[in-house]
Chain A
Amino acid sequence: MPERSEQDELGAKVIEVIARTQRIPADSISLNSTFEELKIDSLDGINIVFELEKAFNIEIPDEGAQNLRSVSETVEGVRKLLGLKRQQQTAPSGAA
């Protein structure tokens, strides 16, 4: 079996978090789903963002949290924040 890419795994994990917080089956969610299709409103969004922060150990800024409209945007946002976190962890400390 081909090994799943990091990107696929990230998508699957985000979908799993959305499914769990929204109490809907994961197989009803795809990367192409919009929040509107999934009946996810802004308050649900806050809940999802809260769980994503825990699942990925990241901090999602309020502005980003309020502008999520689809699963793909959410995955992309998480990917960027994980990248930033990795950069910060590998950056030499005390460089200034």
Chain B
Amino acid sequence: MNRVAVTGLGLVCALGNTVADCWRRAIAGECRILQLRDPGCPPYKFQRGAEAWEFAPLEYFTEKDMVMLERFALLAAKAAREAVAQSGLSFNGELADRTAIITGSSVGGQFTEEEGYLRLYRENNPRVAPLTIPRTMSNAGASRISLEFGITGPAYTVSTACSSANHALGQAFWMVRSGQMTAAIAGGSEAVFAEGLLRAWEAMRVVSTDVCRPFSSDRRGLSLGEAGAMLVLENWDQARSRSADILGEVLGFGMSSDAHHITQPCVEGPAKAMEWALRDAHIPANKIDYINAHGTGTQANDVTETQAIRRVFGVHADTLLVSSTKSMHGHTLGAAGGVEAVLTLLALKDGIVPPTANFTAVDPACNLDVVPNEARGAPVRCALSNTFAFGGLNASLLLGRA
């Protein structure tokens, strides 16, 4: 078994275009769930969202790139670029074959898909754009990363709704830990602000008409967000031997499925994912100091997640810090595990826990220290990052300080 270092981080989301910008705003507790731009269609029931407000693709990509890549793939590639640059890796010789790329995306290229349907069904035009397939495929981001860096190892995409990126990271971690791979680029990306998809979320009645207020008694649902988030995972000894800056360590990963209900969460499944992560890392529960919660801000999730945390951690649950950064960057669906792994790693590295923003009032059913509204300085040794997906698919990633 090999130790697995994190040597690069990349993040673009509502909080900013770089890891540094995002972290600065996250620890300032800045909610970036803002009034949506005029969609040019009848209004949605919800007016707010967390777009990657500052991401102008042409600052990073050519017009030609834009022909082939749609927004979710651009977000993935942008994040990977930042992560790889920080790692200092170049993928020559054997390393190109021994590096994996595993990305998560829940819906892939939704804009292009909807444009195709618009032509077909509204305009009665059977000539759908010829690049529809490569632009919409969920692996478009992974493939772009492979092409851009000349990485020739295994590359694929996991699509498990809101657990996509966490599943991708867990798989990549296990590959590097087992020695199958020397390095991996893993995370997720999602671009959700396409009308058809927003209408579908609206119809599910889980999107807040307010901002997202996780664990707060007046919470009214989730806020949607878009993001690209990637981590470079690397064989610890290799990272040491090339004197790389090791930012943190991936220590364990656990996953489970509820076998309970297609959308209703339960306590057992999430608890099992956290327990398996602890077992996988051979770490006792009382060494965990922080949990970046799934914390969607829906009535059901926040209560069941609280109960799951209490079940796993017992009395230690009262000393844990638990926050939901979704209160600032929104729920980025298939990218969520990536965004939150980046922020969790920075919490470990800098000893600052980002807050649960927009918190107004305690809900007795969510009685954990949710770090309301203000970041907290705390020496965090180990932390979990949770994602629980529709379909009852749970994943928990265990990260440690370098």
**A46-B262 contact given A62-B221, A66-B299, CB 8 Å threshold:** no
- Chain A residues within 8 Å of B221, by CB: 62
Q: Is B64 part of the contact surface with A, judged by Cβ < 8 Å?
A: no
Q: Smallest Cβ distance from B207 to chain A, in angstroms?
A: 9
B242 contacts A by Cβ under 8 Å: no
- Provided the pairs A46-B203, A46-B205, A50-B203 are in contact, do residues A62 and B262 lie with their beta carbons within 8 angstroms? no
Complex CA–CA separation, A65 to B207 (angstroms)? 13
A46 adjacent to B299 (CB under 8 Å): no
User: What is the distance, in angstroms, from A44's C-beta to the closest C-beta of chain B?
Assistant: 11
Residues of B within 8 A of A49 (CB): 205
Contact with B along A21-51 (1 / 0, CB 8 A): 0000000000000000000011100100110
- Closest chain-A Cβ to B265's Cβ sits at a distance in Å of 11
B279: Cβ under 8 A from any A Cβ: no
Chain B residues within an 8 Å CB radius of A42: 263-264, 300
One of B205, B263, B264, B300 near A62 (C-beta < 8 A): B205
Asked if B261 is at the interface of the complex by the 8 Å CB criterion, the answer is yes
- A62-B45, A62-B221, A66-B299 are known contacts. Are A43 and B262 too (CB-CB below 8 A)? yes
Q: With contacts defined as CB atoms under 8 Å apart, how many contacts are there between chain A and chain B in the complex?
A: 23
Residues of A within 8 A of B299 (CB): 66
Min CB–CB distance B392 → chain A (angstroms): 12
In the bound complex, how far is the Cα of B300 from the Cα of A43, in angstroms?
A: 12
**A41 contact set on B, CB distance < 8 A:** 261, 264
- Please, which residue of chain A has its CB at the minimum distance from the CB of B207? A62
* 0/1 interface trace, chain B 195-235, chain A, CB 8 Å (1 if under): 00000000111000100000000001100000000000000
The digit string for B229-273, where 1 denotes a CB below 8 A from any CB of A, is 000000000000000000000000000000001111000000000
Q: Count residues on chain A whose CB falls below 8 Å from chain B CBs.
A: 10
Per the bound structure, the CA–CA distance linking A65 and B205 in Å amounts to 8
Interchain CB contact under 8 A, B209 and A62: yes
Cα A41 to Cα B45 with chains together (Å): 23
Q: Which residue of A lies closest to B209 (CB)?
A: A62
Residues from chain A with Cβ under 8 Å of B204 in the complex: 46
Which B residues lie within 8 Å of A66 (CB)? Answer: 205, 299
Which residues of chain B in 261-298 are interfacial with respect to chain A, using CB atoms and an 8 Å cutoff? 261-264
User: Nearest Cβ in chain B — how far from A61, in angstroms?
Assistant: 9
From B45, B209, B220, B261, contact of A43 by CB (8 A): B261
For residue A46, which residue of chain B has the nearest CB?
Answer: B205
Max chain A Cβ within 10 angstroms of own Cβ: one of B204, B205, B220, B263: B205
Q: With the chains together, A41 CA to B262 CA distance in Å?
A: 11
A22 CB to closest chain B CB (Å) equals 15
Minimum C-beta distance from A68 to chain B (A)? 12
Tell me the minimal C-beta distance from A77 to chain B in angstroms.
14
- In the assembly, what is the distance between CA of A63 and CA of B218, in Å? 12
Which B residues are CB-close (under 8 A) to A62?
A: 45, 205, 209, 220-221
CB-CB nearest in chain B for A43: B263
B264 touches which one: A43, A50, A63, A65 (CB < 8 A)? A43
Contacts of B205 in A (CB 8 A): 46, 49, 62, 65-66
- Closest chain B CB from A41 CB (angstroms): 7
Give complex CA distance A50, B263 in Å: 17
Instruction: Give Cα A46 to B298, complex, Å.
Output: 15
Residues of B contacting A65 in the complex (Cβ-Cβ under 8 angstroms): 205
Q: How far is the CA of A63 from the CA of B208 in the complex (A)?
A: 11
Chain B min CB distance to A87 (Å):
22
Chain B residue at smallest Cβ distance from A47: B203
B220 contacts across to A, CB distance below 8 A: 62-63
User: Chain B: which residue is nearest A50 at the CB level?
Assistant: B203
Closest to B298 in A: A66
CB distance from B34 to the nearest CB of A (A): 21
Q: In the assembled complex, which residues on chain B have CB atoms less than 8 Å from the CB atom of A43?
A: 261-264
Q: From residue B47, how far is it (CB to closest CB) to chain A in Å?
A: 14
Return chain A residues, CB-CB under 8 Å to B203. 46, 50
With both beta carbons as reference points, the residue of chain A lying nearest to B263 in the complex is identified as: A43
Q: Tell me the smallest distance from the CB of A51 to a CB of chain B, in Å.
A: 11
Per-residue CB contact flags for chain A residues 53-73 toward chain B (1 = under 8 Å, else 0) read 000000000110110000000
**Residue contacts A-B, CB under 8 angstroms, 13 given:** A41-B261, A42-B263, A42-B264, A43-B262, A43-B264, A46-B203, A46-B204, A46-B205, A49-B205, A62-B205, A65-B205, A66-B205, A66-B299
Using a CB–CB distance below 8 Å, which chain B residues touch chain A?
Answer: 45, 203-205, 209, 220-221, 261-264, 299-300
Having A42-B263, A66-B205, one finds 9 other A-B pairs with CB under 8 Å, namely: A41-B264, A42-B300, A43-B261, A43-B262, A43-B263, A43-B264, A46-B203, A50-B203, A62-B220
